[in-house]
Structure 1
Amino acid sequence: MGKVDPMWMRGVALAAGAALVAWGVHAVVPAVPLLTAAVLLGIVVGQLPVLRPALTGVLSPGLTLAANRLMRLGVVLLGLKLSLVDIIGLGWITITSTVLIVVLTFFGTLWLGRRVGLLGHQPLLIATGFAVCGASAIGAMSGVVKARDRETATPVALVTLCGTLAIGVLPLLWHPLGLTDLQFGHWVGAGVHDVGQVVATAQIAGSAALAVAVVVKLTRVLMLAPLVAGVAVYERRRVAVAAGAAPGGQIDRTVRRPPVVPLFVAGFLVMVLVRTFVPVPPTVLDAADLVQTVLLAMALFGLGTAVRLTDLVRTGGRALGVGLASWLLIAALALAAVRLS
């Protein structure tokens, strides 16, 4: 039995400690979602010059493991929050409008990001995060397209910024827009990014509004699977074309093609089916929720440490514009859906 590599253990231990600190922040200030606190803590740590050599050196393997593998495990367990029965209970109008909101926001943001010249996978990652479920969706999509941590950092920072702003801005518009409690919950669930941010925003309107918000939000989360699978199919074809472009027209067998459905996406869908058709004891669901929260907090801290605010300020103006435009787009689409339902 080989020895455990201490190199990645150090980074993982730091991420675990950061998750604990984020938990404490959330306990003291419940309005700050735990996962948002984890990302913000990672961003703060990433700006400290004294820690930067360690973050890019001895801590890097563990933080990368947290940002990638632990993120995927957390996404798998996220499926246990979803019951198809609850989603069906929303009614076909709400379900259809929610799916349309995700699709229109995703492709609208993707188009805008490419239009303004964002590089690499940034348009795709920003579109995924704003349309589906925030930083966790970005982490899931980055695993499919093999995005670098630095490439993922800006979308994570943007979706965290806009989701945090939503916690303060949307409640101010609740009564001026003439929304009932349930309509406000629907709007929040359809338009706010992270699940924790949805809970923090909708809970002020009462338990009924919160319940609607969470179910609508989790319906958006379910869209993560087909979106990721669709991108995986596209990447598979792109790699196949690249492999077929080898000298002499021979297919390069050394080029690894991505799976049609990534393993963690299949695991996510299995967990959804388990929650729907198997009577899982509440204690098991609570334990899974705890583990999922810890894994995602560690992963988002790892992603946050890759953010460099100086780089974001210097070169991220276009990315910030795309993020804000996407936030306004999904908020407007969600409000329209509430008015029509």
Structure 2
Amino acid sequence: MSLPPAAPLAPSRAVSPDPAPTRPARGPGPGRGRRPACLAWVPGVVLAFGVALAAQQLHRAVPMVNAVLVCIILGALASNLIRIPEAFNPGLAVAARRVLRIGIVLLGLQLSLTQIAALGPDMLLVVLAVVSGGILGTLALGRLLGVPHAQRLLIACGFSICGAAAIAAVEGAIDRDDEDVAASIALVVLFGTLMIPLIPLLVRMLSIDAHTGNLLVGASVHEVAQVVAAASLVGPDAVGTAVVVKLARVALLAPVVVAVGWGASRARAGVVGHSGTTASTRDAKKPPILPLFLVGFLAASVLTTLLTPSAGLLQLASSLQGLCLSAAMFALGISVRIATLRNLGPRPLVLGFLSTLCVLGIALAGIHADT
């Protein structure tokens, strides 16, 4: 038995679209709709700076409390204990990158090349040995421990140069995960903070005078703020000496980032070339060897060397720099997840400890030979 032919589909349903989609799309009319894209970052940035201001006030009340450490701890606690609304994410991303880079540029205003030159060639050689030996030694130790390349490079630069600012400068030139950056910053803040009471104790045990002790502080402690705290425990009158030595290490940030960027660019070119990708695609993926914020950092240091800004202006720049770094550390702390750190295992922690000993040993040997 044959079936009757199927009735053809009505053209109106097959061709004519449903009337609903033809209505105008809803736009963000008055009093309704989403926040404009240009303002999406505001909540997160306000949150980060609010926490940073609170941490700075706590630091002023209790100088031994490190504002950077407080911010990264609060960020990690917030990330793991509460659910942060998605509305804060764009601003936290801005704080973790752009605000941090503004802080690095402002750090350049504290870098007087004249003061660094006044340290003399012997002390400058010690600084060069600390940075180069610390980086190479940490990379070698990290390889022995089986720590991934990106993470050991971040730890090496952070521990050898200037802490979180160095990690932030280097991470833009290499292939890395956000968890690597957050964990490296947490390690450099942790071990640098532990050095605040331990270095003055070592100075007393070795019967080192305050001037030489603060040379050691500036050559071995990780963060600028940690240097100030440790130096004040060694001898308040020589804090400036420790800071100048530390800034001499900071001055090597730019050439190190250039070298890292050049090496990473060559590595990418080799990998991409081996895979047969065209040269145009390869060039498009290369990051700048000298990032723009490092150009600003160098320009700021040259400016402060040539014009010698007033003490009040330098103090303002220092406060703004500390505020920017603290806000950025809170935002980076948000990416520190307990599960991620648990997955890292003990090896990065051991590497941080050994890197601290490496930098301290080179600094102690160099200063002892110099004196």
Q: TM-score, normalised by structure 1?
A: 0.92
Counterpart of 1:111 (choices 134, 140, 144) is 140
Q: What is the distance in 1 between the residues matched to 2:182 and 2:359?
A: 21
Matched, 1:160 2:189: yes
Equivalent residue of 1:287, what SS?
Answer: helix
Q: What is the distance in 2 between the residues matched to 1:250 and 1:315?
A: 36
Equivalent residue of 1:258, what SS?
Answer: coil
Amino acid at match of 1:174: V
Whether the aligned pair in 2 keeps the contact of 1:232 and 1:262 (CA below 8 Å) is no
Amino acid at match of 2:335: A
Q: What is the distance in 2 between the residues matched to 1:212 and 1:282?
A: 17
Cα-to-partner distance string for 1:27-48 (whole Å, 9 max, x where unaligned): 2211123223222322232331
Equivalent residue of 1:172, what SS?
Answer: helix
Matches within 5 A, 1:92-111: 92-111=121-140
Equivalent residue of 1:121, what SS?
Answer: helix
Equivalent residue of 1:253, what SS?
Answer: helix
Q: What is the distance in 1 between the residues matched to 2:178 and 2:42?
A: 19
Amino acid at match of 1:303: L
Amino acid at match of 1:263: L
Matches within 5 A, 1:161-176: 161-176=190-205
Q: What is the distance in 2 between the residues matched to 1:146 and 1:190?
A: 29
Matched, 1:32 2:65: yes
Matches within 5 A, 1:254-333: 255-333=284-362
Matched, 1:244 2:277: no
Cα-to-partner distance string for 1:182-205 (whole Å, 9 max, x where unaligned): 111011111100000011011123
Cα-to-partner distance string for 1:228-266 (whole Å, 9 max, x where unaligned): 11111122223333443454x742436321223111111
Q: 1:269 to 1:62 in 2, by over 3 A?
A: same
Matched, 1:229 2:258: yes
Q: What is the distance in 1 between the residues matched to 2:38 and 2:98?
A: 16
Extract unaligned runs of 5+ from structure 1: none
Residue 69 of structure 1 deviates from its aligned partner by: 1.2
Amino acid at match of 2:169: A
Equivalent residue of 2:87, what SS?
Answer: coil
Counterpart of 1:19 (choices 52, 74, 77) is 52
Equivalent residue of 2:119, what SS?
Answer: coil
Q: 1:298 to 1:132 in 2, by over 3 A?
A: same
Cα-to-partner distance string for 1:47-106 (whole Å, 9 max, x where unaligned): 31x23x53xx33222212111111111111111101111111111100101111110011
What is the count of residue pairs matched by the alignment?
A: 335
Residue 288 of structure 1 deviates from its aligned partner by: 2.2
Whether the aligned pair in 1 keeps the contact of 2:179 and 2:340 (CA below 8 Å) is no
Extract unaligned runs of 5+ from structure 2: 1-34
Amino acid at match of 2:103: G
Cα-to-partner distance string for 1:147-199 (whole Å, 9 max, x where unaligned): 33222111111111101111122222221111111111011111100000011
